[in-house]
Amino acid sequence: MSVLITGIGELTTNDGPVSHDAALVLDGDRVAWVGPASAAPDADTAVDVAGRAVLPGWVDSHTHLVFAGDRTAEFGARMAGEPYKAGGIAVTVAATRAATDDQLAAVLREHVAEAVAQGTTCLETKTGYGLTVEDELRSAKLAAQHVDEVSFLGAHLVPSDMSTEDYVDLVCGEMLDAVTPHVRWADVFCETGAFDEDESRRVLTAAKERGLGLRVHGNQLGYGPGVRLAVELAAASVDHCTYLTRSDVDLLAQSATVATLLPACDLSTRQPLPNARELLDNGATVALATNCNPGSSYTSSMAFCVAMAVLQMRMSVEEAVRAATLGGAQALRRDDVGVLRVGARADVHVLDAPSITHLAYRPGVPLTYAVWRNGVLERQ
Ligand code: NIG
């Protein structure tokens, strides 16, 4: 079944200049044609979007959606002046272990649906609230049923009943063996209070030996080795990048490792916002993602991240939209999403606005008008 989308007020494809006289044809789950409206081919159906802006669906390359429970109290304490501590993760670990598979699946389904309704069409999510072989395996299997990309984050926190040494041994051996068939990526929280440089390197190296791609949580709560390690091991992405030295920026600029910025997390944890300008001006590839999780960043709104990136991080609207679409795809090493070109996945976001500028000009206003995900019209 093919669909011709006409009446596009402004088309952002990430595959050429923005155009104002364009049409798009989707055929099944693929983009079949992009070009001037006057040359558009016939299709089985036509949808006139009446001057609205069209762009690729958001690619949210960093979320933690396999969880149970709530951390409202921790958030309240933070807003009253308490610092964010990685140890809060243990609260979600206890609730997640106690939840049934059906409860975890329901949470996943609800959050994916919430994200899609706001224009997100490709999602990564992580394990990391199980921290036993059985619970991490269950998280990986559940995640694989609901999202496009799954990362194993057994190295999220050392559980309170184990020594760091024993836990790293477990992650690098039995746990990785169990989850590897169900995930594409391995991630590690390389930060004071979580895993240090040597421990992180051990986990990432063991994952790489099993053929997994690598991602790193790094430089979130202070300066540290995360970026250096990610670049050394050719990780696809290093996420947070809130505290970067000049040498970290240079390393990112000279590598294919994407700097994934998570402004909603920095706001919710009262951290400074990352220096996106320095990264972009020096040639690093930047992605924006929500980091949706119940502790440090409980939002599924990519539009909110885009608005913050423009209003508070001095990214242009074009840079922010690109980072939230193509940047996310690059962080996931995918060339079929985050772009509207022939052969790409039919992931299309129609804004209820004439241009992408409205994403920052009208922050907080729900601007999603229609979403095709994999060629399926999810919302109108
Ligand atoms: O990306 N930094 C580590 N992990 C999450 C936080 C998870 C939590 O607090 O539950 C993050 O911010």
Most distant CA atoms of the chain, gap in Å: 67
Side-chain-side CA neighbours of residue 50 (13 Å): 4
330 to each of 88, 170, 267, 337, how far by Cα in Å?
30, 31, 24, 9
pLDDT at 237: 98
Q: Is 146 marked as binding a ligand?
A: no
48 C-alpha vs ligand 1 centroid, how far in Å? Answer: 42
- 182 appears as a binding residue in the annotation: no
What is the spatial distance between Cα 206 and Cα 208, in angstroms, rounded to a whole number?
6
Check whether 345 is labelled as a binding-site residue: no
Q: Do the Cβ atoms of 372 and 54 come closer than 8 Å? A: no
Say whether pLDDT at 379 is over 90: no
Ligand 1 proximity of 293 Cβ (cutoff 6 Å): yes
What are the pLDDT digits (tens) for 95-145? Answer: 999 999 999 999 999 999 999 999 999 999 999 999 999 999 999 999 999
**CA-closest candidate to residue 75, choices 361, 299, 294, 315:** 294
The HSE-up count of residue 41 (CA atoms within 13 Å, CB side) is 11
Q: Put residue 5 in one of left, alpha, beta given phi > 0 → left and psi -120 to 50 → alpha.
A: beta
Q: Is 20 annotated as contributing to ligand binding?
A: no
Which residues share a beta bridge with 372?
Answer: 348, 377
Asked if residue 305 has pLDDT above 70, the reply is yes
Domain 2-57+339-379 in CATH 3.40.50.720? The answer is no
Distance CA 64, CA 362 (A): 28
Confidence of residue 46 (pLDDT cuts 50, 70, 90): very high
Backbone phi, psi, residue 50, to 5°: 50, 50
**Best CA proximity match to 129, nearest among 98, 106, 103:** 98
Q: How far is CA 185 from CA 47, 61, 153, 189, 202, in A?
A: 38, 12, 9, 14, 15
Amino acid at 174: E
pLDDT band at residue 86 using 50, 70 and 90 as cut-offs? confident
pTM across the whole model = 0.98
Q: Which burial class, exposed, middle or buried, applies to 42 when counting CB atoms under 10 A from its CB (0-12, 13-18, 19+)?
A: exposed
The answer, yes or no, to whether residue 236 has pLDDT greater than 80, is yes
How many CB atoms are closer than 10 A to CB 270?
12
Between the CA of 156 and the centroid of ligand 1 the distance, in Å, is: 8
Calpha distance 4→23 (Å, rounded):
7
Which structure tokens are listed for 379?
Answer: 């919302």
Residue 80 near residue 350, CB atoms below 8 Å? no
Fold category of 58-331 in CATH: TIM Barrel (3.20.20)
Tokens of 116: 């899609």
Q: Are strands 22-27 and 30-36 parallel, antiparallel or unpaired?
A: antiparallel
- Label residue 296 left, alpha or beta by phi (over 0 means left) and psi (-120 to 50 means alpha): alpha
Residue 156 among known ligand-binding residues = yes
What is the per-residue pLDDT for 221?
Answer: 96
Q: Any idea what the Cα angle at residue 50 is, between residues 48 and 55, rounded to 5°?
A: 85
Annotate 74-138 with DSSP letters as a single string.
HHHHHHTTPPP-GGGHHHHHHHHHHS-HHHHHHHHHHHHHHHHTTTEEEEEEE--S--SHHHHHH
Average pLDDT on 168-183 reads 98
Task: Look at the chain and count its residues.
Answer: 380
Interface predicted TM-score (ipTM) over 0.85 = yes
pLDDT of residue 380: 66
Ligand 1 pocket, residue 125 CB under 6 Å: no
Instruction: Choose which residue among 66, 152, 293 to substitute to test ligand 1 binding: the one with the highest number of ligand atoms within 8 A of its C-beta.
Output: 293
pLDDT beyond 80 at 332: yes
Question: What's the confidence (pLDDT) of residue 204?
Answer: 98
Task: Compute the average pLDDT of residues 332-352.
Answer: 98
pLDDT tens-digit series, residues 241-260: 999 999 999 999 999 999 99
Residue range(s) occupied by CATH 2.30.40.10 in the chain = 2-57+339-379
| From-to residues of CATH 3.20.20.140 in the chain | 58-331
Question: Are 352 and 373 a contacting pair, CB within 8 Å?
Answer: no
Q: Which pLDDT does position 302 carry in this prediction?
A: 98
Instruction: Give the span between the Cα atoms of 37 and 54, in whole angstroms.
Output: 14
The percent of residues in the chain predicted with pLDDT above 70, rounded, is: 100
Q: Give the pLDDT score at 160.
A: 94
For the Cβ of 265 lying below 6 angstroms from any atom of ligand 1, the answer is yes
Tell which atom from ligand 1 comes closest to the C-alpha of 89.
Answer: 10
Mutate to test the pocket of ligand 1, among 64, 240, 271 (most ligand atoms within 8 A of CB): 64
- The neighbour count for residue 159, using CB atoms within 10 Å, is 16
